[in-house]
Amino acid sequence: MNAVDATEHYETSARDPAPALLTVVLDTNPHAWALLEDSLPLSKAIANILVFLNAHLACNYANEVAVVASHSQKAAWLYPHENPATKISHDADGDVSMNGSSTNNNTTEGPGQVNKYRPFRIVEEQVTHNLRELMASTSGPDVKANNSTMMAGALTLALSHINRRSIAWAEAHGADTAAETSGGGPPSGGHASGTDTTEGLQSRILIVSVSGASDSAHQYIPIMNSIFACQRLHIPIDVCKLSGDAVFLQQASDATKGIYMSLTEPRGLLQYLMMAFLPDQRSRRHLVLPTRVDVDFRAACFCHRRVVDIGFVCSICLSIFCEPLDNGTCLTCGTNLEIGDYGAKPAVVARKRKKKKRVNGPSGTATPTPTPTPGP
Amino acid sequence: MGDSDEEYIGEVSEDEDDNNVFRGSRSEGSASRAKRRKQRGGAEWEVSRTWETLVEGADGTISSTVEGLLEAGKRKRLLKDTTPLQRGIIRHLILIIDLSQSMTEKDLRPTRYLLTLRYAQELVREFFEQNPISQLGVLGLRDGLAIRISDLSGNPTEHISAIQTLRDQDPKGLPSLQNGIEMARGALFHTPSHGTREIFIIFGSLLSSDPGDIHQTIANLINDKVRVGIVGLAAQVAICRELCAKTNGGDDTRYGVALNEQHFRELLMDVTTPPATYSQKQSASSLLMMGFPSRTVETSPSLCACHSKSSCGGYLCSRCNSKVCGLPAECPSCGLTLILSTHLARSYHHLFPLVNWVEVPWQRASRSSVCFACGIAFPPVPPKDQWQTTENQAKGMSVSSRYECTVCENHFCIDCDLFAHEVVHNCPGCQSKPTFPKKADLLGCQAGLGLEIMDTSA
Amino acid sequence: MAMAVAPSRPFDYLESLPGTTFYKLYQQPSTALAIFRRMLPDLAKCFVMALLYLKDPLPATDLEAWVKAESLKERDNALSILGRLHILSNTVITDNVRAYKVTDPFASSLRQALTGAEKTQSFGVLWHISDGAAVSIAELDEYARRQWEGVLGYMVGTSGLGIQRDANLSKGVKQLLQAGHLVEIRDRRVEITQDGFAFVLQDVSTQVWHILMLYVESADAIGMSSVEVLSFVFLLSSLELGKAYDKKHLTSNQLRTLTDLADFGIVYQDSPDASHFYPTRLATTLTSDSSALSNPISGSLSGPSGTGSNKAGSGFIIVETNYRLYAYTSSPLQISLIALFTTLKYRFPNLITGKITRQSVRRAIEMGITADQIISYLATHAHPQMRKHNVSRSTSNQAGIPPSVLPPTVTDQIRLWQLERDRVKATPGFLFKDFVSLAEYEAPCRYAEEIGVLVWKSDRKRMFFVTRHEQVAAFLRSRK
C-alpha cells in the first residue's frame, strides 16, 4: 500500500508559481543627473528602464510593477498613480524618445492604431506623464536648497505599496490574512525557515541611484528602519548605482540578500538591467549572482564623523564616539556615564604573597628549634 | 486536577502564611482577577454579547459591520504608549519554561507543552531580531528541579535547537519556582551592570514545590537588581504576583495570565520590547567599548577562534585580530564586544518610537480621497446629516477609515497604519517631506526630545 | 512544479512543427510574446532576456558559468526547450567557440513587443465605439459562461447521468469534439469518452488550450493555414478585456476562425457580419497561469450565476473528513460533474450536498475517470475556506511537507478505491503444458526465463506461461 501513502502525495494541484511585484525606486536628484548628462541623459535612462519594466511584465501574466521617484525634496509615485485631472489631455507624443518609434501611435482611446501591447503602454504613459509633472513642479529655489534625495521616503512608500499588494493577493487567493498582520512576518505561517515560499506575492525593490551618501546622512535612521523591514519581510533590495557612492545602499543589499552593481559603463544600462536585475527570486536560486564582499560595515562616530574601528557606545542612547569623553557626559542624551578602564592595565594573575615567618635567624630556612625539655 | 490539592513535596515549609495565602488565593484569585479586569476597563473575560454588537448596515448586510470590527481589532493592537522612554537596550534575559505535569493539559492546542515550545522558538527569533546585542538563556523546571537547556549566549540557533530537543521529552513532576530562580540568578550573576537582568517565566501550574524560603530568594533578586516577568497559563497564582510586583518596584503588570492562544502569543511577544528603566538608581549607564570589524574573505580556509571551525571568511577583531565567524560576538581572546553598526541601528526604533496616528472625524476627512502611502481609496464623505449616525456605529476605529499623522498631516488607511507602526517604524508622509537642515547630530533630529525615565511612583 | 509551466498539449504541438513554420510564426510580435510568456520555464526566460539585446552571440561557456553547478538539470532543460522551439540557436564565432544567439525573427519580434514600434497590427486595432452601444464586461462574462457551459454540458449530458441539455450547438463544434475524441458517436447517440472525462474535470485554462489546439490541428483539414490560425490565436491572447476590436484588418481565414471561436464563447460578436468583435475573458487570459484565471472566470463559470466576480477566490466545494461534500453552486454543469463521482443527497437553491462513497467512486472509475482527475478537480475548486483552514493547519505541521487542500483521508481513500479494481491483473500470453517428462519441461522453461518472457511456471504441474511464444516454439523445434 505504499503507493497510496498520504505523506508523499501532498501536492496541491494547479499551484502555479506566484507572480512577482517589482518596485523601482528611481533617484531623480537633479544635481546628480546633470552631472551624468554626457554619458547618460535622463531621458535615455528612462527609456531603458521602461523597456526593462516591460520585460518584467512580459515574464508572467500576473506580474506587477510600481515606480516611485525619489526627488530632491519629496518622494512621489510615478506608477500606479492616476491623476484624474489630467487623464485625458494627452498630446501626441506620450513617450520619450523610444528607439525608432513613430509619433502617430500611442494615443489613448479613439480610432487609431494600437501597436503596442496595452499593459506596456499604460505603464509607459503614466510614468512619463507623472515624471514630467514632477519635473515641472520643481522650481529653481527648491533645487538650490538641498542636493540630496528622499531615499527614506521613497523606500517607505514602496514598502507600504508592497504591503498593500501582498494583502490583496493573499485575500484573493484565500490565504490566512490574519496571521500576516499579527506578526508582520512573511505569510507562510509558523516557521520562517530559509526555504522560499511559493505562496504569496514575491516582491523585490530595485533602487536606481545616482546620489552620494553624504547628502542623506540625516536620513540614516529611517533608511535603516526600512532596510530592517525589508529584511524581515524577505524583500531583496537590488541597487544599480550609476554614479556616486552610498555605503548604506551596500549595507542594504547585503542585509537583504540583494544584488549591488556599480556600473562602469552607464550607457550599457539596459543590458545590465536585463542580465543582472531581471531574474526573479525563484530563478536567482539557480544563477550565480554578482556579489560584493568588501562591504564596509564600520560605523562613523557622532562627534567627528570619522570612521571608527573601535568605538565607545553610550548604553542609554547607543550613540558612538571615537574616544572616551572628557567629562563623561553623552553628547546626545546628556546622561552621566561611567567610564571603565577599558583594559588599560593588562590582566595578570595576582602574586601570591609569601608569609613571612618570625624566626630567630635572619634567613628563611631556620633550623627548627627543639622544644625545651621540661625541667625537673 | 489534583495538583492544587497536593501537599508540598519536600520539606514542610515553615511558613504557614505561605500555605494559607496559597490556599486562599485560589478563591481570592478569581475575585481579585475580576476586580483587576474591571479596573482595566475591559470585559474581556465576561461573556461578550456579540449579537448586540452586530448591527445591520444600510444595505441590509452586515458586511460593513464586520469590516468595522476587523479594523477595530487591528487598531487595538496599535495603541501603545509611545513616549520616548529610557529603555534597557543591552539585555540579559533568562527564559524559564515550566516542564511539569500541568503542561500536558490540552486547553491550548495541541497541548500547552507543544504550543509553549513553539512560541518559545518564535520568541527567541523575535527577541534577537529586536535586540541584537542582547543575550538569552533557557532553563526548565521539571520534577522539582531546574535544568539547564541552553546557556546565556547571543546566538539564536543554539537556543532554537536546544528547545527543539525538548520536544521529544515529556513533561513530568512538579515545578519549583525557587530552584529555577536561583539557577537563573546564578547565571545572571556575572553579567555586567550596564545591561538589564531579566527573568521571564512561562508558568502553567498552580503551585510551586520549593525546598526553602522563596521570600529569601525574592529578597536576593531585589538586591541583584533582577526583574521578573511571568505569563501564567492556568490561573493567577499569588506567589507569582508577589514575585513580579516586588522585583519590578511595585508594578505587577509584568504578570499576565493567558486567556487564549492569541493572548498568550501577545504576552510573550511583549517581552521583546526592551523594558523601561523605572528608577534613577537602577539605571547604570556607562560608556562601553565596542569593536566594529569588517568582513574578510580569505583564499584559503583558516580556523575561527570561537568554534575552531575552518572557514574562508569571517570578521577580524579590531583589537587583537582573531577571527570570529558571526556577529554579534565577544572576542574569545581579548573579550571585546564585536558588533556591526546595523545591530545598534536595530534598536533605535525602541528609543524613538513613531508617534501614534489619530483618527480623523468626518469634518476633516474631505482633505484626502486616497491613502497617501498605498493609494487605496477611502470611503467617500457622506452628507453632513449622516455623520452622527455613523459615528455611533464605529467603535474603536476611525469613522472615516482615515488615520492622520499629526506631524505631516497626511491621511493613511488602517493597513498602512499597522504596517508603519509595527514593521517599518517610519511615517511615509514625514519621510517624503524635506526636513529642515539641522546642525544637531544624527539621533537628535529624529525626536528632538530628551529621553525621560518612567516614573512609577504615581 | 516550478519548472514546467507550459501545458503539455500546445507545447507538443508546437514542437512538432517544422522550422520554417516557426519562421513564419515568429514574424508577429504578439506570438513571440505569448510563447515567451506561456511556454518557457523561468530560467529560459532569463536566458532569452539576457541575450536579447546583445549584439554578438554569447559564448556557451559564459552562459554555462552563469548558472550554478547544482542547477545543471534546470539549465539543460531550459536550453533544450529553447532549442526545440527554435528560439535559441547554436552558432560558432571566431576561434571555433560555440556560442548562443536568439534566432532572428523571434528576437526582433520580441524586441518590437517590448518597445512597441512596428507596422503590423499585431496587437489588435481598437474599434471606437460610443458608450451606449458597448458591451459590458459582465455581459461578456455571461456570454462566455453560457457558451462554454453549453459545450461542456453537451459532453456531460450525453453520458446519461446529467441533465439533458438542448443540443443547440453548431455543427462545427460537434465535429471538433468528435475529431478530438472527446465524444463518440455510437448508435447515433453521442457518448463521452475517457479523454472527454479527463477534459471536463480539468481547469478552464487547460480546457481552452485543448480546444484551441484541436482547432489548429484540424485547420488544415478545413483548408486554412494552421500557422495563420495559430498566430491569430496568439493575437487574441494579447487583447484587452472589455474593448472592441476592429475586424477590417483581418484576413478571411481569420474571420472564419473568429466565427468558429464565437461558438465556444472565446470571442463575442453581435453577428458574423459585424464590424467589430470583443474578446471574452477566456481569450484574454490565455497566456496567464491557471491561478490567475481562477479568480474571476471560474467564479463566473461555476459559481452561482448572477453574482459578480467574487474577491476571495472562486472555489465552491467543501470536502469534510467524513467524506461529505458541500458544493455552493447552482450551475447544472457543475452539478452533473459532481454527480459523476458522488452520491448527491440534497439540493438547495444555492447548495448541493452529497457524500463520496465507495459505490460512487467505483462507478466513476468504471466510466473511465481516474482517481487523480477526481482529486485534482476537487482541489482546483476547493472553497477558499478550505484553503484558509489549510494554511492555519500548516503552521502546526513541523515536518515541512506542503499540505494539500483536501483532507488526506479522503484523497487516500479515493486512490485506494481505485486500486481495488486492480486486484486482478490480466496478462495475455501463452501457456505451455503437457510435457512428457520433467527434463523436457525444464529446458524450454529455463530458456524462456533467460530471454525474459517467462511470467509464471509450476514445476509440479509441468506448465509455464510466457508472453511471447515464438522464440520458445523455435527453441523447441530446434531441439527436436
- Domain-embedded: residue B204: yes
Sign of the alpha-carbon dihedral angle for C427, C429, C434, C440: negative
Mean pLDDT computed over B136-154 = 91
Q: What is the pLDDT of residues C438-453, one digit of tens each?
A: 888 888 888 888 888 8
Q: Is the pLDDT of residue B267 over 80?
A: yes
Contacting residues of A for B89, CB less than 8 Å apart: 315-316, 318
A109 and C128 in contact by Cβ < 8 A? yes
> B360 and B344 in one domain?
no
> B96 and B241 in one domain?
yes
Mean pLDDT computed over A231-260 = 86
A58 and C114 in contact by Cβ < 8 A? yes
- Domain-embedded: residue B130: yes
Q: Is the pLDDT of residue B366 over 70?
A: yes
Instruction: Identify the residue with better confidence: A240 or B279.
Output: A240
Q: What pLDDT, on a 0 to 100 scale, did the predictor assign at position C398?
A: 47
Q: Please, what is the end-to-end C-alpha distance for chain C in angstroms?
A: 59
A226 and B426 in contact by Cβ < 8 A? yes
- Domain-embedded: residue B163: yes
CATH code for the domain in which residue B174 is found: 3.40.50.410
Asked if CATH classification 1.10.10 holds for the domain at C9-115, the reply, yes or no, is yes
> B238 and B372 in one domain?
no
Rounded to a whole number, what is the distance in Å from the CA of A198 to chain C's nearest CA?
A: 9
Which residue, B349, B372, B400, sits at the end of a domain? B349
- Domain-embedded: residue B151: yes
Q: What pLDDT, on a 0 to 100 scale, did the predictor assign at position B47?
A: 66
Amino acid at residue number C222:
I
Q: What is the pLDDT of residues C48-73, one digit of tens each?
A: 888 888 888 888 888 888 888 888 88
Q: What is the pLDDT of residues C24-35, one digit of tens each?
A: 888 888 888 888
Half-sphere exposure of A24 (CA within 13 A, CB side): 25
Q: What is the pLDDT of residues A197-209, one digit of tens each?
A: 446 788 999 999 8
Count Cβ–Cβ pairs < 8 Å, chain A vs chain C. 216
List the beta bridge partners of residue A355. Answer: none
Per the structure block, which three cell numbers stand in for A162? 508592497
Separation of alpha carbons A120 and C57, rounded Å: 28
* β-strand pairing of A260-262 with A237-241: parallel
Mutation for A interface: B277, B315, B442, B454, most A CBs within 10 A: B442
B375 and A316 in contact by Cβ < 8 A? no
Contacting residues of B for C396, CB less than 8 Å apart: 109-110, 118
Region of residue A343 (phi > 0: left; psi between -120 and 50: alpha; otherwise: beta): left
Q: What is the mean pLDDT of chain B?
A: 77
> B227 and B156 in one domain?
yes
B342 and A251 in contact by Cβ < 8 A? yes
Q: What is the pLDDT of residues C67-126, one digit of tens each?
A: 888 888 888 888 888 888 888 888 887 777 788 888 888 888 888 888 876 555 566 666
Instruction: Answer yes or no: are the C-beta atoms of C183 and C191 closer than 8 Å.
Output: yes
Question: If you classify domain C430-478 with CATH, what class do you get?
Answer: alpha beta
B434 and A75 in contact by Cβ < 8 A? no
Q: What is the mean pLDDT of chain C?
A: 78
Mean pLDDT computed over A97-101 = 33
Mean pLDDT computed over A240-248 = 81
Half-sphere exposure of B384 (CA within 13 A, CB side): 1
Half-sphere exposure of C301 (CA within 13 A, CB side): 29
Longest dimension (CA), chain B: 78
**CA dihedral of B205, B211, B213, B215, whole degrees rounded to 10:** -30
Separation of alpha carbons C360 and C414, rounded Å: 10
CATH code for the domain in which residue B372 is found: 3.30.40.10
Amino acid at residue number B361:
P
Q: Which residues, in sequence order, are CB contacts of A272 under 8 Å at separation 6+?
A: A240, A261, A263
Whether this prediction's pTM lies above 0.80 is answered by: no
Q: Is the pLDDT of residue A326 over 90?
A: no
Mutation for A interface: B341, B352, B451, most A CBs within 10 A: B341
Separation of alpha carbons A240 and A153, rounded Å: 18
CB-closest option in C71, C117, C288 to A61: C288
> B90 and B207 in one domain?
yes
A68-82, B55-69, B107-121: segment of lowest average pLDDT: B55-69
Instruction: Identify the residue with better confidence: C467 or A112.
Output: C467
CB atoms within 10 A of CB A137: 11
By C-alpha distance, the chain C residue nearest A8 is C401
Q: How many domains is chain B built from?
A: 3
Please tell me whether residue B84 adopts helix, strand or coil conformation.
coil
Q: How confident is the model at residue C303 (pLDDT cuts 50, 70, 90)?
A: very low
CB atoms within 10 A of CB C318: 18
A7-21, B105-119, B220-234, C448-462: segment of lowest average pLDDT: A7-21
Which residue, B206, B234, B269, sits at the end of a domain? B269
Per the structure block, which three cell numbers stand in for C322? 467524513
Contacting residues of B for A66, CB less than 8 Å apart: none
Specify the residue for cell string 531585589. B222
> B312 and B228 in one domain?
no
> B254 and B156 in one domain?
yes
Please tell me whether residue A201 adopts helix, strand or coil conformation.
coil
**Where in chain A is CATH 3.40.50.410?**
18-81+116-172+200-283
Q: What is the mean pLDDT of chain A?
A: 72
Separation of alpha carbons A94 and A120, rounded Å: 13
By C-alpha distance, the chain B residue nearest A322 is B289
> B201 and B186 in one domain?
yes
Q: Which residues, in sequence order, are CB contacts of C78 under 8 Å at separation 6+?
A: C40, C41, C43, C44, C47
Contacting residues of A for B420, CB less than 8 Å apart: 156, 160
CB-closest option in A222, A294, A337 to B287: A337
ipTM of this complex prediction, to 2 decimal places: 0.72
Q: What is the pLDDT of residues A7-55, one digit of tens each?
A: 434 443 334 567 889 999 998 888 888 888 888 888 888 989 999 999 9
Which residue, B298, B321, B349, sits at the end of a domain? B349
Task: Please check whether residue C66 touches A, CB under 8 A.
Answer: yes
CB-closest option in A13, A62, A274 to C376: A13
Q: Is the pLDDT of residue A366 over 60?
A: no
- Domain-embedded: residue B116: yes
pLDDT above 90: percentage of residues in chain A: 6
> B342 and B209 in one domain?
no
CB-closest option in A222, A232, A333 to B431: A222
Q: What pLDDT, on a 0 to 100 scale, did the predictor assign at position B233?
A: 92
Q: Is the pLDDT of residue C339 over 50?
A: yes
Separation of alpha carbons C450 and C212, rounded Å: 50
* β-strand pairing of C317-319 with C324-327: antiparallel
Q: Which residues, in sequence order, are CB contacts of C465 under 8 Å at separation 6+?
A: C427, C429, C430, C431, C432, C454, C455, C456, C457
Q: Which domain holds residue B375?
A: 356-430
Q: What is the pLDDT of residues C3-49, one digit of tens each?
A: 333 346 777 777 778 778 888 888 888 888 888 888 888 888 888 88
Mean pLDDT computed over B258-263 = 89
Per the structure block, which three cell numbers stand in for A324? 572616551
Task: Please check whether residue C402 touches A, CB under 8 A.
Answer: yes
Contacts of B among chains (3+ CB pairs under 8 A): A, C
Q: What is the pLDDT of residues B17-35, one digit of tens each?
A: 444 444 444 444 444 444 4
- Domain-embedded: residue B149: yes
Q: How confident is the model at residue C306 (pLDDT cuts 50, 70, 90)?
A: very low
The residue count of chain C comes to 480
Q: Where are chain C's structural domains?
A: 9-115, 137-285, 315-395+403-423, 430-478
- Domain-embedded: residue B42: no
Mean pLDDT computed over C308-323 = 68
Rounded to a whole number, what is the distance in Å from the CA of B287 to chain A's nearest CA?
A: 5
B446-450, C342-346, C389-393: segment of lowest average pLDDT: B446-450
Q: Which CATH number fits domain A18-81+116-172+200-283: 3.40.50.410, 1.20.1250.20, 3.40.1740.10, 2.40.110.10?
A: 3.40.50.410
A224 and B288 in contact by Cβ < 8 A? no
> B362 and B296 in one domain?
no
